[in-house]
Chain A
Amino acid sequence: MYSSIAEFIKEANETGKSLSDLMIEQEMDHSKRSYEDIWKQMERNLDTMQAAVERSVMGDGVMSSTGLTGGDAVKIKKYREKGNTLSGDRIMHGVQDALGTNEVNAAMGVICATPTAGASGTLPGVLFPIAEQLKLSREQMVRFLFTSSLFGMVVANNAMIAGAMGGCQAEVGSASAMAAAAAVEAAGGTPDQSEIAFGIAMGNLLGLVCDPVAGLVEIPCVKRNAIGAGNALIAADMALAGIENKIPADEVVEAMRKVGRSMPRELRETGLGGLAGTPTGENIKMKIFGQSL
Protein backbone atom coordinates (compact mmCIF):
# COMPACT_ATOMS: atom_id res chain seq x y z
CA MET A 1 0.00 0.00 0.00
CA TYR A 2 1.35 3.42 -0.93
CA SER A 3 2.43 5.28 2.16
CA SER A 4 3.35 8.53 0.44
CA ILE A 5 2.36 10.63 -2.55
CA ALA A 6 5.96 10.62 -3.83
CA GLU A 7 5.83 6.82 -3.95
CA PHE A 8 2.86 6.54 -6.30
CA ILE A 9 3.90 9.52 -8.45
CA LYS A 10 7.25 7.75 -8.99
CA GLU A 11 5.43 4.52 -9.84
CA ALA A 12 3.21 6.33 -12.35
CA ASN A 13 6.20 8.00 -13.98
CA GLU A 14 8.16 4.75 -14.20
CA THR A 15 5.36 2.54 -15.47
CA GLY A 16 3.39 5.06 -17.53
CA LYS A 17 0.22 3.95 -15.73
CA SER A 18 -2.46 6.48 -14.81
CA LEU A 19 -2.96 7.36 -11.14
CA SER A 20 -6.49 5.96 -11.30
CA ASP A 21 -5.14 2.61 -12.52
CA LEU A 22 -2.65 2.52 -9.66
CA MET A 23 -5.52 3.04 -7.21
CA ILE A 24 -7.61 0.28 -8.78
CA GLU A 25 -4.65 -2.12 -8.72
CA GLN A 26 -3.98 -1.38 -5.06
CA GLU A 27 -7.65 -1.91 -4.23
CA MET A 28 -7.76 -5.25 -6.07
CA ASP A 29 -4.58 -6.38 -4.36
CA HIS A 30 -5.75 -5.42 -0.90
CA SER A 31 -9.42 -6.40 -1.00
CA LYS A 32 -9.01 -9.45 -3.28
CA ARG A 33 -12.08 -8.20 -5.13
CA SER A 34 -12.49 -8.17 -8.89
CA TYR A 35 -11.91 -5.15 -11.12
CA GLU A 36 -15.56 -5.19 -12.10
CA ASP A 37 -16.76 -5.31 -8.52
CA ILE A 38 -14.60 -2.37 -7.46
CA TRP A 39 -15.55 -0.36 -10.54
CA LYS A 40 -19.26 -0.92 -9.88
CA GLN A 41 -18.97 0.31 -6.30
CA MET A 42 -17.26 3.50 -7.44
CA GLU A 43 -19.94 3.99 -10.10
CA ARG A 44 -22.54 3.77 -7.36
CA ASN A 45 -20.70 6.53 -5.47
CA LEU A 46 -20.78 8.66 -8.61
CA ASP A 47 -24.51 8.01 -9.03
CA THR A 48 -25.11 9.06 -5.43
CA MET A 49 -23.19 12.29 -5.97
CA GLN A 50 -25.12 13.02 -9.15
CA ALA A 51 -28.48 12.31 -7.51
CA ALA A 52 -27.70 14.67 -4.59
CA VAL A 53 -26.75 17.48 -6.97
CA GLU A 54 -29.94 17.00 -8.99
CA ARG A 55 -32.10 16.85 -5.90
CA SER A 56 -30.63 20.08 -4.57
CA VAL A 57 -32.07 22.21 -7.38
CA MET A 58 -35.48 20.61 -7.70
CA GLY A 59 -38.26 23.10 -6.96
CA ASP A 60 -37.18 25.45 -4.18
CA GLY A 61 -34.31 23.13 -3.24
CA VAL A 62 -33.86 21.26 0.03
CA MET A 63 -34.04 22.75 3.52
CA SER A 64 -32.45 21.40 6.68
CA SER A 65 -34.74 20.58 9.60
CA THR A 66 -33.39 23.58 11.53
CA GLY A 67 -34.05 25.89 8.59
CA LEU A 68 -30.50 27.26 8.88
CA THR A 69 -29.40 26.10 5.42
CA GLY A 70 -30.98 25.17 2.11
CA GLY A 71 -32.20 26.70 -1.12
CA ASP A 72 -28.91 28.42 -1.96
CA ALA A 73 -28.01 26.07 -4.83
CA VAL A 74 -31.29 27.11 -6.46
CA LYS A 75 -30.36 30.78 -6.00
CA ILE A 76 -27.00 30.21 -7.70
CA LYS A 77 -28.72 28.32 -10.53
CA LYS A 78 -31.05 31.28 -11.18
CA TYR A 79 -28.16 33.74 -10.83
CA ARG A 80 -26.13 31.79 -13.42
CA GLU A 81 -29.01 31.87 -15.84
CA LYS A 82 -28.67 35.66 -16.01
CA GLY A 83 -25.21 35.00 -17.41
CA ASN A 84 -23.23 37.76 -15.78
CA THR A 85 -21.34 36.14 -12.91
CA LEU A 86 -18.17 37.79 -11.67
CA SER A 87 -16.09 34.65 -11.26
CA GLY A 88 -17.29 32.95 -14.44
CA ASP A 89 -19.85 30.25 -15.06
CA ARG A 90 -17.48 27.30 -14.53
CA ILE A 91 -16.66 28.34 -11.00
CA MET A 92 -20.29 29.17 -10.25
CA HIS A 93 -21.38 25.78 -11.57
CA GLY A 94 -18.94 24.30 -9.05
CA VAL A 95 -20.32 26.53 -6.31
CA GLN A 96 -23.86 25.40 -7.15
CA ASP A 97 -23.02 21.69 -6.97
CA ALA A 98 -20.93 22.08 -3.82
CA LEU A 99 -23.63 24.06 -2.01
CA GLY A 100 -26.31 21.70 -3.30
CA THR A 101 -24.59 18.54 -2.10
CA ASN A 102 -24.00 19.95 1.35
CA GLU A 103 -27.56 21.22 1.56
CA VAL A 104 -28.74 17.66 0.92
CA ASN A 105 -26.27 16.48 3.56
CA ALA A 106 -27.49 19.02 6.12
CA ALA A 107 -31.07 17.94 5.38
CA MET A 108 -30.07 14.36 6.25
CA GLY A 109 -30.40 13.22 2.66
CA VAL A 110 -28.26 10.56 1.00
CA ILE A 111 -24.77 11.67 -0.02
CA CYS A 112 -21.38 10.10 -0.68
CA ALA A 113 -18.73 11.11 1.88
CA THR A 114 -15.68 12.51 0.03
CA PRO A 115 -13.67 12.10 2.21
CA THR A 116 -16.21 13.10 4.87
CA ALA A 117 -19.88 14.08 4.85
CA GLY A 118 -19.10 17.62 5.96
CA ALA A 119 -16.80 17.97 2.93
CA SER A 120 -19.03 16.01 0.55
CA GLY A 121 -19.73 18.97 -1.77
CA THR A 122 -16.17 19.84 -2.73
CA LEU A 123 -15.51 16.93 -5.09
CA PRO A 124 -18.85 17.23 -6.95
CA GLY A 125 -18.18 20.97 -7.17
CA VAL A 126 -15.08 20.19 -9.22
CA LEU A 127 -16.07 17.01 -11.03
CA PHE A 128 -19.38 18.08 -12.57
CA PRO A 129 -18.28 21.45 -14.01
CA ILE A 130 -15.13 19.98 -15.56
CA ALA A 131 -17.07 16.96 -16.84
CA GLU A 132 -19.30 19.38 -18.70
CA GLN A 133 -16.43 21.45 -20.03
CA LEU A 134 -14.06 18.61 -20.96
CA LYS A 135 -16.95 16.37 -22.08
CA LEU A 136 -15.71 13.62 -19.76
CA SER A 137 -17.07 10.13 -20.36
CA ARG A 138 -18.67 8.25 -17.47
CA GLU A 139 -15.49 6.17 -17.32
CA GLN A 140 -13.36 9.29 -16.90
CA MET A 141 -15.67 10.53 -14.15
CA VAL A 142 -15.29 7.26 -12.25
CA ARG A 143 -11.52 7.52 -12.75
CA PHE A 144 -11.62 11.02 -11.24
CA LEU A 145 -12.92 9.42 -8.04
CA PHE A 146 -10.23 6.72 -8.00
CA THR A 147 -7.48 9.31 -8.45
CA SER A 148 -8.98 11.47 -5.70
CA SER A 149 -9.01 8.52 -3.34
CA LEU A 150 -5.38 7.61 -4.05
CA PHE A 151 -4.35 11.01 -2.67
CA GLY A 152 -7.02 10.97 0.05
CA MET A 153 -5.83 7.67 1.49
CA VAL A 154 -2.34 9.04 2.03
CA VAL A 155 -3.79 12.10 3.79
CA ALA A 156 -6.08 9.95 5.94
CA ASN A 157 -3.30 7.57 6.96
CA ASN A 158 -0.52 10.14 7.42
CA ALA A 159 -2.50 13.07 8.82
CA MET A 160 -6.26 13.15 9.38
CA ILE A 161 -9.57 13.76 7.60
CA ALA A 162 -11.83 14.41 10.58
CA GLY A 163 -12.59 17.97 11.64
CA ALA A 164 -12.64 16.87 15.26
CA MET A 165 -9.03 15.76 14.89
CA GLY A 166 -7.52 18.45 12.70
CA GLY A 167 -9.98 21.21 11.87
CA CYS A 168 -11.68 21.89 8.55
CA GLN A 169 -8.34 21.94 6.74
CA ALA A 170 -8.51 18.15 7.24
CA GLU A 171 -11.98 17.97 5.68
CA VAL A 172 -12.54 20.64 3.02
CA GLY A 173 -8.77 21.12 2.75
CA SER A 174 -8.20 17.44 1.97
CA ALA A 175 -11.22 17.28 -0.35
CA SER A 176 -10.05 20.35 -2.25
CA ALA A 177 -6.54 18.95 -2.69
CA MET A 178 -7.84 15.52 -3.75
CA ALA A 179 -10.16 17.13 -6.30
CA ALA A 180 -7.42 19.41 -7.67
CA ALA A 181 -5.13 16.42 -8.27
CA ALA A 182 -7.88 14.43 -10.01
CA ALA A 183 -8.95 17.42 -12.10
CA VAL A 184 -5.42 17.65 -13.49
CA GLU A 185 -5.50 14.00 -14.57
CA ALA A 186 -8.95 14.46 -16.13
CA ALA A 187 -7.64 17.45 -18.09
CA GLY A 188 -4.73 15.43 -19.46
CA GLY A 189 -2.05 16.75 -17.10
CA THR A 190 0.89 14.68 -15.85
CA PRO A 191 1.12 12.87 -12.50
CA ASP A 192 3.68 15.49 -11.42
CA GLN A 193 1.16 18.24 -12.18
CA SER A 194 -1.45 16.37 -10.13
CA GLU A 195 0.95 16.37 -7.20
CA ILE A 196 1.60 20.09 -7.66
CA ALA A 197 -2.12 20.91 -7.81
CA PHE A 198 -2.66 18.85 -4.67
CA GLY A 199 0.09 20.72 -2.82
CA ILE A 200 -1.15 24.15 -3.89
CA ALA A 201 -4.76 23.40 -2.96
CA MET A 202 -3.97 21.98 0.47
CA GLY A 203 -1.34 24.61 1.23
CA ASN A 204 -3.87 27.35 0.61
CA LEU A 205 -6.34 25.98 3.14
CA LEU A 206 -3.87 25.25 5.97
CA GLY A 207 -5.17 26.39 9.30
CA LEU A 208 -8.83 26.25 8.34
CA VAL A 209 -10.78 25.83 11.58
CA CYS A 210 -13.76 23.54 12.14
CA ASP A 211 -16.36 25.71 13.87
CA PRO A 212 -19.87 24.44 13.16
CA VAL A 213 -22.52 26.75 14.62
CA ALA A 214 -24.55 24.85 17.25
CA GLY A 215 -22.41 21.84 16.34
CA LEU A 216 -24.46 21.40 13.16
CA VAL A 217 -22.92 20.57 9.78
CA GLU A 218 -24.54 23.67 8.27
CA ILE A 219 -22.86 27.00 9.02
CA PRO A 220 -20.18 27.49 7.74
CA CYS A 221 -19.75 23.97 6.28
CA VAL A 222 -22.09 24.39 3.30
CA LYS A 223 -20.44 27.55 1.99
CA ARG A 224 -16.96 26.34 2.81
CA ASN A 225 -17.38 23.48 0.35
CA ALA A 226 -18.01 26.04 -2.38
CA ILE A 227 -14.68 27.68 -1.52
CA GLY A 228 -12.99 24.27 -1.49
CA ALA A 229 -14.26 23.57 -5.01
CA GLY A 230 -13.21 26.99 -6.32
CA ASN A 231 -9.80 26.65 -4.68
CA ALA A 232 -9.34 23.21 -6.32
CA LEU A 233 -10.21 24.49 -9.80
CA ILE A 234 -7.78 27.38 -9.45
CA ALA A 235 -5.01 25.14 -8.07
CA ALA A 236 -5.51 22.66 -10.94
CA ASP A 237 -5.32 25.48 -13.48
CA MET A 238 -2.14 26.81 -11.91
CA ALA A 239 -0.51 23.37 -12.10
CA LEU A 240 -1.67 22.87 -15.70
CA ALA A 241 -0.19 26.27 -16.56
CA GLY A 242 3.19 24.94 -15.47
CA ILE A 243 3.44 26.69 -12.12
CA GLU A 244 5.46 24.78 -9.56
CA ASN A 245 4.80 24.30 -5.87
CA LYS A 246 8.07 24.59 -4.00
CA ILE A 247 6.91 22.43 -1.09
CA PRO A 248 6.46 18.71 -1.98
CA ALA A 249 2.91 17.41 -1.47
CA ASP A 250 3.92 14.95 1.27
CA GLU A 251 5.47 17.77 3.26
CA VAL A 252 2.28 19.81 2.87
CA VAL A 253 0.34 16.83 4.29
CA GLU A 254 2.76 16.63 7.22
CA ALA A 255 2.39 20.38 7.77
CA MET A 256 -1.39 19.94 7.77
CA ARG A 257 -1.08 17.19 10.40
CA LYS A 258 1.09 19.36 12.63
CA VAL A 259 -1.19 22.39 12.29
CA GLY A 260 -4.16 20.15 13.11
CA ARG A 261 -2.47 18.72 16.19
CA SER A 262 -1.67 22.18 17.50
CA MET A 263 -5.17 23.57 17.01
CA PRO A 264 -7.03 24.23 20.24
CA ARG A 265 -9.96 21.95 20.90
CA GLU A 266 -12.40 24.91 20.56
CA LEU A 267 -11.54 25.01 16.85
CA ARG A 268 -11.89 21.29 16.22
CA GLU A 269 -15.57 20.59 15.67
CA THR A 270 -16.65 21.19 19.23
CA GLY A 271 -18.98 23.99 18.16
CA LEU A 272 -17.34 26.32 20.69
CA GLY A 273 -14.88 28.59 18.84
CA GLY A 274 -14.71 30.43 15.53
CA LEU A 275 -18.07 31.32 13.97
CA ALA A 276 -19.80 29.01 16.45
CA GLY A 277 -18.50 31.17 19.28
CA THR A 278 -19.78 34.49 17.88
CA PRO A 279 -22.75 36.11 19.66
CA THR A 280 -25.00 35.20 16.72
CA GLY A 281 -23.60 31.67 16.64
CA GLU A 282 -24.34 31.30 20.37
CA ASN A 283 -27.86 32.70 19.85
CA ILE A 284 -28.59 30.19 17.10
CA LYS A 285 -27.39 27.40 19.36
CA MET A 286 -29.62 28.62 22.18
CA LYS A 287 -32.65 28.90 19.88
CA ILE A 288 -32.21 25.36 18.57
CA PHE A 289 -31.17 23.51 21.69
CA GLY A 290 -32.38 25.80 24.48
CA GLN A 291 -30.64 26.02 27.84
CA SER A 292 -29.64 22.42 28.00
CA LEU A 293 -26.49 22.81 25.90
Chain B
Amino acid sequence: MSSVAELKVEKKEKKVMNFKSCFNVIGPVMIGPSSSHTAGAIEIGKLANKLFQGKPTHALVKYYESFAETHKGHGTDFAIASGILGFETDDARVPAALDIAKEENIDIQFVEMSGDSPVHHANTACITLSNDEREIHVTGISVGGGTIEVKYIEIEGFVLEPQGTLPVLLVITKNEILKKQIETLLGDNGIKINQMTEYQNGETFLYQFDLDSPPSDKIKDDIYHVKKDSKIILL
Protein backbone atom coordinates (compact mmCIF):
# COMPACT_ATOMS: atom_id res chain seq x y z
CA MET B 1 0.00 0.00 0.00
CA SER B 2 2.64 2.48 1.04
CA SER B 3 4.61 2.00 -2.15
CA VAL B 4 1.56 2.89 -4.24
CA ALA B 5 1.01 6.00 -2.14
CA GLU B 6 4.66 6.96 -2.53
CA LEU B 7 4.47 6.45 -6.25
CA LYS B 8 1.49 8.78 -6.44
CA VAL B 9 3.25 11.50 -4.47
CA GLU B 10 6.32 11.16 -6.64
CA LYS B 11 4.22 11.39 -9.80
CA LYS B 12 2.52 14.54 -8.56
CA GLU B 13 5.81 16.20 -7.68
CA LYS B 14 7.19 15.46 -11.11
CA LYS B 15 4.50 17.50 -12.85
CA VAL B 16 6.18 19.41 -15.68
CA MET B 17 6.41 23.12 -15.06
CA ASN B 18 7.47 24.37 -18.45
CA PHE B 19 6.22 27.90 -18.02
CA LYS B 20 8.32 29.36 -15.24
CA SER B 21 8.26 33.01 -16.17
CA CYS B 22 5.47 35.51 -16.81
CA PHE B 23 7.28 36.31 -20.05
CA ASN B 24 6.59 32.79 -21.32
CA VAL B 25 2.90 33.74 -21.24
CA ILE B 26 3.01 37.47 -22.00
CA GLY B 27 5.64 37.43 -24.74
CA PRO B 28 7.76 36.86 -26.62
CA VAL B 29 7.75 39.98 -28.74
CA MET B 30 7.94 38.26 -32.09
CA ILE B 31 7.33 38.28 -35.83
CA GLY B 32 3.93 36.66 -36.54
CA PRO B 33 2.02 34.57 -37.30
CA SER B 34 2.37 31.66 -34.83
CA SER B 35 4.09 31.38 -31.48
CA SER B 36 4.21 27.58 -31.66
CA HIS B 37 5.10 27.33 -35.33
CA THR B 38 7.16 30.51 -35.78
CA ALA B 39 8.61 31.69 -32.43
CA GLY B 40 8.88 28.12 -31.11
CA ALA B 41 10.44 26.98 -34.37
CA ILE B 42 13.04 29.75 -34.09
CA GLU B 43 13.88 28.46 -30.61
CA ILE B 44 14.27 24.88 -31.92
CA GLY B 45 16.54 26.21 -34.68
CA LYS B 46 18.52 28.05 -32.04
CA LEU B 47 19.04 24.80 -30.12
CA ALA B 48 20.68 23.39 -33.24
CA ASN B 49 22.73 26.56 -33.72
CA LYS B 50 24.01 26.45 -30.13
CA LEU B 51 24.85 22.76 -30.32
CA PHE B 52 26.67 23.09 -33.63
CA GLN B 53 28.72 26.13 -32.60
CA GLY B 54 29.68 27.53 -35.97
CA LYS B 55 28.35 27.63 -39.50
CA PRO B 56 26.99 24.42 -41.00
CA THR B 57 26.93 23.77 -44.74
CA HIS B 58 23.89 21.48 -44.59
CA ALA B 59 20.71 21.38 -42.57
CA LEU B 60 18.08 18.66 -42.73
CA VAL B 61 14.80 19.50 -40.99
CA LYS B 62 12.18 16.81 -40.48
CA TYR B 63 8.69 17.93 -39.52
CA TYR B 64 6.09 15.78 -37.79
CA GLU B 65 2.30 16.06 -37.26
CA SER B 66 1.05 19.69 -37.00
CA PHE B 67 4.48 20.99 -38.09
CA ALA B 68 4.33 18.71 -41.14
CA GLU B 69 0.78 19.73 -42.02
CA THR B 70 1.05 23.49 -41.60
CA HIS B 71 4.68 24.62 -41.77
CA LYS B 72 4.27 26.45 -45.08
CA GLY B 73 1.48 28.71 -43.90
CA HIS B 74 3.08 29.42 -40.56
CA GLY B 75 6.46 30.50 -41.85
CA THR B 76 8.00 27.61 -39.91
CA ASP B 77 10.66 27.15 -42.61
CA PHE B 78 12.09 30.65 -42.35
CA ALA B 79 11.70 30.47 -38.57
CA ILE B 80 13.81 27.31 -38.31
CA ALA B 81 16.33 28.89 -40.70
CA SER B 82 16.39 32.01 -38.48
CA GLY B 83 17.21 29.90 -35.46
CA ILE B 84 19.95 28.06 -37.32
CA LEU B 85 21.37 31.48 -38.23
CA GLY B 86 21.11 32.53 -34.56
CA PHE B 87 18.42 35.23 -35.00
CA GLU B 88 16.14 36.24 -32.11
CA THR B 89 12.33 36.01 -32.37
CA ASP B 90 11.85 39.75 -33.01
CA ASP B 91 14.70 40.13 -35.50
CA ALA B 92 13.43 41.95 -38.60
CA ARG B 93 15.49 39.57 -40.78
CA VAL B 94 13.34 36.58 -39.72
CA PRO B 95 11.03 36.56 -42.79
CA ALA B 96 14.09 36.73 -45.11
CA ALA B 97 16.04 33.98 -43.33
CA LEU B 98 15.80 31.40 -46.13
CA ASP B 99 17.40 33.82 -48.59
CA ILE B 100 20.01 34.83 -46.04
CA ALA B 101 20.86 31.15 -45.41
CA LYS B 102 21.29 30.65 -49.16
CA GLU B 103 23.60 33.67 -49.38
CA GLU B 104 25.66 32.16 -46.56
CA ASN B 105 25.84 28.85 -48.47
CA ILE B 106 23.82 26.88 -45.96
CA ASP B 107 21.77 24.29 -47.82
CA ILE B 108 18.53 23.64 -45.92
CA GLN B 109 16.20 20.78 -46.75
CA PHE B 110 12.72 20.41 -45.25
CA VAL B 111 10.97 17.06 -45.13
CA GLU B 112 7.32 16.42 -44.16
CA MET B 113 7.19 13.13 -42.29
CA SER B 114 3.92 11.24 -42.51
CA GLY B 115 4.13 9.11 -39.36
CA ASP B 116 3.68 9.99 -35.69
CA SER B 117 6.25 12.12 -33.95
CA PRO B 118 9.11 9.99 -32.54
CA VAL B 119 8.73 11.90 -29.26
CA HIS B 120 4.91 11.87 -29.28
CA HIS B 121 4.15 15.55 -29.72
CA ALA B 122 2.05 17.45 -32.27
CA ASN B 123 4.72 20.08 -32.92
CA THR B 124 7.96 18.19 -33.49
CA ALA B 125 11.02 19.13 -35.53
CA CYS B 126 14.19 17.05 -35.85
CA ILE B 127 17.22 18.96 -37.12
CA THR B 128 20.55 17.68 -38.38
CA LEU B 129 23.33 20.22 -38.96
CA SER B 130 26.57 19.26 -40.61
CA ASN B 131 29.71 20.41 -42.37
CA ASP B 132 32.87 18.57 -43.40
CA GLU B 133 34.02 18.32 -39.81
CA ARG B 134 31.03 17.49 -37.67
CA GLU B 135 27.35 16.73 -37.35
CA ILE B 136 24.74 17.23 -34.62
CA HIS B 137 21.13 16.07 -34.26
CA VAL B 138 18.49 17.66 -32.11
CA THR B 139 14.78 17.06 -31.65
CA GLY B 140 12.67 19.83 -30.19
CA ILE B 141 8.97 20.21 -29.50
CA SER B 142 7.04 23.46 -29.43
CA VAL B 143 4.59 23.50 -26.53
CA GLY B 144 2.98 26.90 -27.10
CA GLY B 145 3.64 30.58 -26.65
CA GLY B 146 7.16 30.20 -28.03
CA THR B 147 8.19 27.78 -25.27
CA ILE B 148 9.96 24.60 -26.33
CA GLU B 149 11.38 21.39 -24.92
CA VAL B 150 14.47 19.51 -26.07
CA LYS B 151 13.85 15.77 -26.29
CA TYR B 152 16.86 14.28 -28.06
CA ILE B 153 20.44 15.32 -28.80
CA GLU B 154 23.33 13.66 -30.61
CA ILE B 155 26.64 15.43 -30.24
CA GLU B 156 30.26 14.21 -30.44
CA GLY B 157 29.23 10.59 -30.16
CA PHE B 158 26.94 11.16 -27.18
CA VAL B 159 23.22 10.44 -27.33
CA LEU B 160 21.12 12.33 -24.80
CA GLU B 161 17.46 12.35 -23.94
CA PRO B 162 16.99 15.31 -21.60
CA GLN B 163 13.90 15.71 -19.42
CA GLY B 164 12.70 18.24 -21.98
CA THR B 165 12.35 21.49 -20.14
CA LEU B 166 14.97 24.15 -20.60
CA PRO B 167 17.47 25.42 -19.57
CA VAL B 168 19.95 22.58 -20.03
CA LEU B 169 23.68 23.09 -19.56
CA LEU B 170 26.02 20.72 -21.38
CA VAL B 171 29.67 20.39 -20.50
CA ILE B 172 31.81 18.26 -22.82
CA THR B 173 35.28 17.81 -21.41
CA LYS B 174 38.25 15.56 -20.75
CA ASN B 175 38.68 17.31 -17.42
CA GLU B 176 36.58 15.59 -14.74
CA ILE B 177 37.16 18.38 -12.25
CA LEU B 178 34.82 20.61 -14.23
CA LYS B 179 31.77 18.74 -12.97
CA LYS B 180 32.37 19.81 -9.38
CA GLN B 181 33.38 23.33 -10.42
CA ILE B 182 30.21 23.94 -12.39
CA GLU B 183 28.07 22.40 -9.65
CA THR B 184 29.62 24.73 -7.09
CA LEU B 185 29.28 27.74 -9.36
CA LEU B 186 25.59 27.05 -9.93
CA GLY B 187 24.94 26.26 -6.26
CA ASP B 188 26.70 29.39 -5.02
CA ASN B 189 24.49 31.48 -7.29
CA GLY B 190 21.24 29.88 -6.19
CA ILE B 191 20.61 28.01 -9.46
CA LYS B 192 18.89 24.73 -8.61
CA ILE B 193 20.02 21.66 -10.55
CA ASN B 194 16.93 19.52 -11.17
CA GLN B 195 19.00 16.63 -12.46
CA MET B 196 22.62 15.91 -13.39
CA THR B 197 23.37 13.13 -15.87
CA GLU B 198 26.88 11.95 -16.61
CA TYR B 199 28.03 10.26 -19.82
CA GLN B 200 31.43 8.90 -20.79
CA ASN B 201 32.79 8.20 -24.25
CA GLY B 202 36.43 7.04 -24.10
CA GLU B 203 38.32 9.81 -22.36
CA THR B 204 35.60 12.39 -22.90
CA PHE B 205 32.86 13.16 -20.42
CA LEU B 206 29.55 14.87 -21.00
CA TYR B 207 27.79 16.40 -18.01
CA GLN B 208 24.18 17.30 -18.58
CA PHE B 209 22.70 19.70 -16.03
CA ASP B 210 18.91 20.14 -16.20
CA LEU B 211 18.46 23.53 -14.51
CA ASP B 212 15.44 24.96 -12.75
CA SER B 213 15.99 28.55 -13.88
CA PRO B 214 18.15 30.36 -16.43
CA PRO B 215 21.44 31.78 -15.13
CA SER B 216 21.81 35.56 -15.35
CA ASP B 217 24.25 37.02 -17.89
CA LYS B 218 26.85 37.47 -15.17
CA ILE B 219 26.65 33.81 -14.07
CA LYS B 220 26.64 32.72 -17.72
CA ASP B 221 29.92 34.58 -18.23
CA ASP B 222 31.38 32.86 -15.18
CA ILE B 223 30.27 29.46 -16.49
CA TYR B 224 31.78 30.02 -19.94
CA HIS B 225 34.94 31.27 -18.24
CA VAL B 226 35.55 27.83 -16.67
CA LYS B 227 36.35 26.43 -20.14
CA LYS B 228 39.78 24.74 -19.96
CA ASP B 229 39.63 23.27 -23.50
CA SER B 230 36.06 22.14 -22.98
CA LYS B 231 32.82 22.76 -24.79
CA ILE B 232 30.21 24.48 -22.63
CA ILE B 233 26.75 24.91 -24.15
CA LEU B 234 23.75 26.48 -22.44
CA LEU B 235 20.49 25.54 -24.14
Contacts and interface: CB of A to CB of B under 8 A. Distances in A.
Contacts of A150: 22
Given A32-B190, A161-B144, A271-B69, A117 B38 contact: yes
Interface in A1-57: 1, 3, 23, 26-27, 30-33, 38, 41-42, 44-45, 48
A108 B75 contact: yes
Contact of A118 (B25, B33, B213): B33
Contacts of B20: 1, 30
B32 A107 contact: yes
Interface string B89-125: 0100001000000000000000000000000001100
Interface stretch (A70-78, A213-221, A239-247): A213-221
A146 B23 CA distance: 9
Interface string A151-192: 011001100111111000011000000100000000000000
A111 interface: yes
Contacts of B216: 32-33
B33 A217 contact: yes
A27 B26 contact: no
A107 B143 CA distance: 23
B213 to A, nearest CB: 6
Contacts of A265: 65, 122
Given A214-B73, A215-B74, A111 B22 contact: no
A120 to B, nearest CB: 8
A269 interface: yes
A270 B69 CA distance: 6
B19 interface: yes
Interface of B: 15-36, 38-39, 65-66, 69-70, 72-75, 90, 95, 122-123, 142-147, 189-190, 213-214, 216
